[in-house]
Structure 1
């Protein structure tokens, strides 16, 4: 029983930390002065337009991360219910535990890869592991040169422990 609770708490903690980290890292709001002069008003309008453009650009990434978090949470809850169900067979419980551990390990690797990609200067990234073992990466950028793409492929291949030939990289503004 204690082991089940530990796994469940660990899962929820990881998901919570991922969401907190995501919102902390992506909270790029700058304070705006409250002067009433014409110049200050023009600057405020310009800042609002810039913030709106940035928000629109990152909406794709925010929506994806939210959806992915919700899906992971739902999968974790389903696996936890199988583990906690007294009528589940020993094989079902063991498989659910293994699936939950795999899901948590993959989520940790994805989060680390995203952190390393953003450390390279990209505002945000999506790392999606396919069922066939391939990994699709989308970075927030206007364009991506070959050197940057190779660097990202290397980061993701290392963190996800896959061949770089299984990693594809694309961009989204």
Structure 2
């Protein structure tokens, strides 16, 4: 009986390692970030139709490198585009950072300390992304918001909710949800009115 359990444990462990290596080295890492989002066919068609608008917004904002997020908000046509744009920029930034860290981990010239530091940073980035997704999905499910954007930067977590108004009680509940997931960090809660 003990041998069977050992074989099963080793099999599951090796499968976990193989899948971890596959996900870390997969070139399409952005495809896995939307696993928990269920999209209907209409949403997919709308997204495909709005892709040209998003590309125009991206090209119009590409020459605004020195501007802040508030300036970018005014150049984006809808909140859907804004949330999508911010998510894409965040995913692209994290993806490039993770590629650099993965190259350090895979490097033959890097020291053990450098590899450990890079691996810990990779783990931290993955955990942040997971926590952001968990908070977004829980807030959507619990309060019925059409969309929620959670970004963690340094020691601050910024939560932007798509709703026409946000009461102090709702903001406090959102902050409590963020504290439960991220711990004691500074939390900013904002809302974007929807145009529907």
TM-score of the aligned structures, taking structure 1 as reference length: 0.71
Aligned to 1:49: none
Cα RMSD, aligned residues only: 2.9
The separation in 1 between residues aligned to 2:151 and 2:140, in whole angstroms, is 16
- Does 2:189 match 1:169? yes
Deviations 1:95-120 (A, max 9, x none): 00010011111111111001111112
Where relative contact order (Cα < 8 A, 6+ residues apart) is larger, the structure is 1
CA shift, 1:130, in A, is 2.2
Match of residue 148, structure 2, among 116, 120, 125: 125
Alignment of 1:53-132 (within 5 A): 56-119=78-141, 120-131=143-154
TM-score of the aligned structures, taking structure 2 as reference length: 0.64
The change in CA–CA distance for 1:98 and 1:125 in structure 2 (over 3 A counts) is same
List gaps (5 residues or longer) in structure 2.
1-13, 46-76
List gaps (5 residues or longer) in structure 1.
32-54
CA shift, 1:14, in A, is 6.8
After superposing on structure 2, the runs of 4+ consecutive aligned residues of structure 1 that deviate more than 2 Å are 2-17, 19-22, 24-31
The separation in 1 between residues aligned to 2:101 and 2:44, in whole angstroms, is 41
